[in-house]
Structure 1
Amino acid sequence: MSSLYHPTVARLTYRALLGRRRALILFTLPGLLLIISLAVRLLTGSDDGTADAILGGFAMATMVPLIGVIAGTGAIGPEIDDGSVIYLLAKPVKRPTIIVTKLIVAIGVTAAFSAIPTLLAGFVLNGNANQLAVGYAVAAAVASVAYSAVFLLLGTVTRHAVIAGLVYALVWETFFGSVVAGARKLSVQQWALALGQKVADGDVITSDVGLATGVILLLVVTVGATWYAGRKLRSLTLAGEE
């Protein structure tokens, strides 16, 4: 792992992702989730159905992919847009190391700002009855990995990565993933929920795909997106050198 992780690249990426503007957005979504959860608990009391609706409908369907967009595209997209990536590529750092390091940072930021608030919200809503809070937190953490890889890839292939990521997150994951049965089977959200369903008790968390299918698809998408992002970065290096 040491050959695929570069501390200096990681530090620069963390600094870029946790700058004032992005940090404000990153804190806003989890804060909103916790405020909603607290208000609902005070007004309606503990209820598994309500907790499931909030954690599944807002946390997993909206908050997690949006945070993934911010962290994944922000890990490399701005450097490519302003041309500063050329200075990074000029350093004696292997291209796969750059991609993997940025992916690790994006995963860490996405998981921290999505899985932890989801866990806390679950405890607020129903005290983790039926392992609902833990199940959704696991799903959020697993989804963070795939989302980070997908949106990091977008950051390397298009200058409009944020727009493309928002379209995917809001239109495909949030809208089509909620109302179109076929689309749900091609959703990172549903693949991650398959693991959450395994962790939670009973059928409080449901997924449109089985556990094995969900795990395989998550691995394929994560590895495939990471590999292709590295390939695109390598071609960008050649273009810059020419």
Structure 2
Amino acid sequence: MYNPTVARLTYRALLGRRRAALLFVLPGLLILLATAVRVLNGADDQIAADVLGGFALATMVPLIGVIAGTGAIGPEIDDGSIVYLLSKPVKRPTIIMTKLIVAISVTMMFSALPTFVAGFILNGNGRQLAISYTVAALVASIAYSALFLLLGTVSRHAVVIGLVYALVWETLFGSLVAGARTLSVQQWALAVAQKVGDGSMVTSDVGLTLAVSLLVGVTVVATWYAGQKLRTLTLAGEE
């Protein structure tokens, strides 16, 4: 279920000059913000939690997921170049799985690692905050990548829809509206992080069992459906 050639082409597309620049912006802002906060306020556990939860997990991770998830396949479908890949003797579920693995790895690299560094800058991993939010970023990266990869296969407006979801649902409703938190990837990831770290500083409105079930379920269903949608794409001359 993994094809090295497809992976190489996908990495090249995601890490090209334009997209790589976008991927570096948010992590760079997080590190700058963490450094400024530490210089101005010193090591403060609550401020560290606010920065890591409010910016890193609620904003940076889903936005990077949008860039990596939709970028792994959306542009190929939009410009029609996907037909060249589909004409090769590679099973379509293998294409989807390979692109998902690439999207996950890129999202993790550009979100979890900066979160870990920012956590140490902010308070030296006091109260296990750096570790907790890094785990949350890692877990969320998987679900976001699957969701946005699916979005890239079903809509030509995947980036716009993904940005609305990331900025409105996850950043705003997922953080502020109690009823919406149950359906927030951010809250599911926080439930896992709460188990790993200091439960008094990292909390979630969703129980661990439900959170894990939803994370796994969403990832599996989104990946399966993306594979099904790719199967419906036909090449010229196919019957």
TM-score of the aligned structures, taking structure 1 as reference length: 0.97
| Separation of aligned partners in 2, 1:221 and 1:240 | 35
What SS does the corresponding residue of 1:60 show, helix, strand or coil? helix
What SS does the corresponding residue of 1:237 show, helix, strand or coil? coil
For the 8 Å contact 1:130–1:202, the answer to whether it is kept is no
What SS does the corresponding residue of 1:159 show, helix, strand or coil? coil
* Alignment equivalent of 1:166, drawn from 163, 166, 171: 163
Q: Is there any run of 5+ residues in structure 2 with no aligned partner, and where?
A: none
Moved over 6 A (4+): none
Q: CA deviation at 1:178?
A: 1.6
| Separation of aligned partners in 1, 2:178 and 2:199 | 22
What are the superposed Cα offsets for residues 14-63 of structure 1, whole Å, 9 maximum, x if unpaired? 00000111100100100000000001001100011000000000000000
Q: CA deviation at 1:203?
A: 1.1
Give 1:6-155 correspondences, 5 Å limit: 6-155=3-152
For the 8 Å contact 1:173–1:187, the answer to whether it is kept is yes
What SS does the corresponding residue of 2:80 show, helix, strand or coil? coil
For the 8 Å contact 1:86–1:240, the answer to whether it is kept is no
Q: Greater shift after overlay, 197-206 or 19-28?
A: 197-206
The one-letter code sitting in structure 2 at the alignment partner of 1:194 is A
For the 8 Å contact 2:14–2:72, the answer to whether it is kept is yes
TM-score of the aligned structures, taking structure 2 as reference length: 0.98
* Alignment equivalent of 1:205, drawn from 195, 202, 206: 202
For the 8 Å contact 2:87–2:235, the answer to whether it is kept is no
| Separation of aligned partners in 2, 1:31 and 1:62 | 13
What are the superposed Cα offsets for residues 42-98 of structure 1, whole Å, 9 maximum, x if unpaired? 110001100000000000000000000000000000000000000100000001100
| Separation of aligned partners in 2, 1:111 and 1:210 | 24
- Please give the root-mean-square deviation of Cα atoms over the aligned residues, in Å: 1.0
| Separation of aligned partners in 2, 1:192 and 1:44 | 28
What are the superposed Cα offsets for residues 170-214 of structure 1, whole Å, 9 maximum, x if unpaired? 110011112210101100000001011111124110111011111
| Separation of aligned partners in 2, 1:46 and 1:208 | 27
Matched residue, 2:190 = 193
What SS does the corresponding residue of 2:216 show, helix, strand or coil? helix
The one-letter code sitting in structure 1 at the alignment partner of 2:148 is F
Q: Is there any run of 5+ residues in structure 1 with no aligned partner, and where?
A: none
Q: CA deviation at 1:239?
A: 7.6
Matched residue, 2:213 = 216
Q: CA deviation at 1:241?
A: 2.6
| Separation of aligned partners in 2, 1:41 and 1:64 | 22
The one-letter code sitting in structure 2 at the alignment partner of 1:32 is L
